[in-house]
């Protein structure tokens, strides 16, 4: 499995209170212990609102996790080309716009920054956004070179807007099943009916602020919905396209970034 959405919370690095919230520590060692029995061969470490524009924790985590793990950063629109290039060399593969919680660049920067990082280093943009807000952004998002939306878009009411974007080529993260307001199995089927290559699975560990944290049965749900072949795509192969990384190699191997 390639874990396409996880957070590392290391108190050795700066944390920023977000709406009165500071997360409990969840270190690299905590993560590896939690997923040791799940067959994880790589993943995407995603910057949270509480980490804002600090990259120290992420670079440390990627160094410790190895070359089959990649990073998703929050960047100010003023970030230099040199900084973006350095982050790419360290294994970063996407820029995140945290519309839901903040701590990132804003939607006013989406078009310019998403195009800039894609043109410079091939990154895609990841949106943590309620799908009910996608309709008014459809033209902008559909025109971007590469985009993913977190947590199945969160809301049942916005699912038609999400599916329209799937038709245009975006990816959807099958993540955060314990934080969404929709029937997960039905949403998975709906996205796959439009484009089975759009879905990438992630644990969302440690599931900060989620009403219900990740549980192993979330993986079983994907397998029950899709069967062996399509489950392998959702749990592993589709991430190869999104993150431009080999997903079959175990952590600690010599795969280059």
Question: What is the helix (H) or strand (E) element at residue 143, kind and residue range?
Answer: helix 138-143
Reported pTM:
0.92
Tokens of 38: 């799940």
Q: Indicate if the pLDDT at residue 57 is higher than 90.
A: yes
In a domain, 40, yes or no: yes
In a domain, 212, yes or no: yes
In a domain, 251, yes or no: no
Which of 56-70, 164-178, 180-194, 238-252 bottoms out in mean pLDDT, i.e. has the lowest? 238-252
Strand-by-strand arrangement of the 124-128 sheet:
2-6, 42-46, 69-73, 92-98, 124-128, 147-149, 171-174, 199-201
Dihedral sign of CA atoms 211, 213, 214, 218 in order: negative
Identify the pLDDT of residue 103.
53
* Percentage with pLDDT > 90 across the chain: 84
Domain that holds residue 112: 2-243
In a domain, 256, yes or no: no
Q: Indicate if the pLDDT at residue 156 is higher than 90.
A: yes
In a domain, 248, yes or no: no
- CATH code, domain carrying 134: 3.20.20.140
In a domain, 202, yes or no: yes
Q: What tens digit of pLDDT does each residue of 58-101 get?
A: 999 999 999 999 999 999 999 999 999 999 999 999 999 988 66
Q: Indicate if the pLDDT at residue 23 is higher than 70.
A: yes
Confidence of residue 126 (pLDDT cuts 50, 70, 90): very high
Tokens of 178: 């314990």
Nearest to 158 by CA among 124, 128, 135, 191: 135
In a domain, 161, yes or no: yes
In a domain, 211, yes or no: yes
Q: How many domains does the chain have?
A: 1
């Amino acid at each position: 499995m390639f874990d396409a959405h996880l957070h590392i919370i290391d108190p050795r690095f700066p944390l920023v209170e977000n709406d009165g919230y500071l997360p409990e520590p969840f270190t690299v060692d905590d993560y590896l212990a939690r997923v040791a029995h799940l067959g994880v061969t790589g993943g995407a470490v995603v910057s949270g609102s509480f980490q804002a524009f600090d990259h120290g924790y992420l670079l440390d985590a990627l160094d410790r996790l190895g070359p089959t793990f990649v990073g998703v950063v929050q960047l100010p629109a003023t970030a230099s080309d040199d900084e973006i290039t350095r982050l790419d060399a360290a294994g970063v593969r996407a820029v995140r716009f945290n519309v839901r919680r903040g701590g990132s660049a804003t939607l006013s920067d989406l078009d310019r920054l998403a195009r800039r990082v894609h043109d410079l280093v091939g990154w895609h943009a990841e949106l943590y956004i309620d799908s009910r807000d996608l309709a008014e952004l459809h033209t902008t998002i559909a025109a971007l070179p590469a985009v993913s939306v977190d947590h199945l878009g969160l809301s049942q009411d916005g699912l038609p807007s999400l599916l329209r974007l799937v038709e245009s080529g975006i990816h959807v993260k099958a993540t955060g099943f314990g934080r969404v307001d929709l029937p997960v199995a039905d949403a998975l089927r709906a996205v796959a009916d439009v484009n089975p290559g759009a879905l990438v699975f992630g644990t969302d560990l440690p599931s900060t602020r989620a009403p219900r944290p990740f549980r192993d049965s979330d993986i079983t749900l994907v397998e029950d919905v899709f069967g062996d072949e399509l489950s392998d795509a959702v749990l592993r192969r589709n991430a190869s396209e999104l993150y431009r990384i080999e997903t079959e190699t175990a952590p600690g191997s010599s795969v280059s970034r």
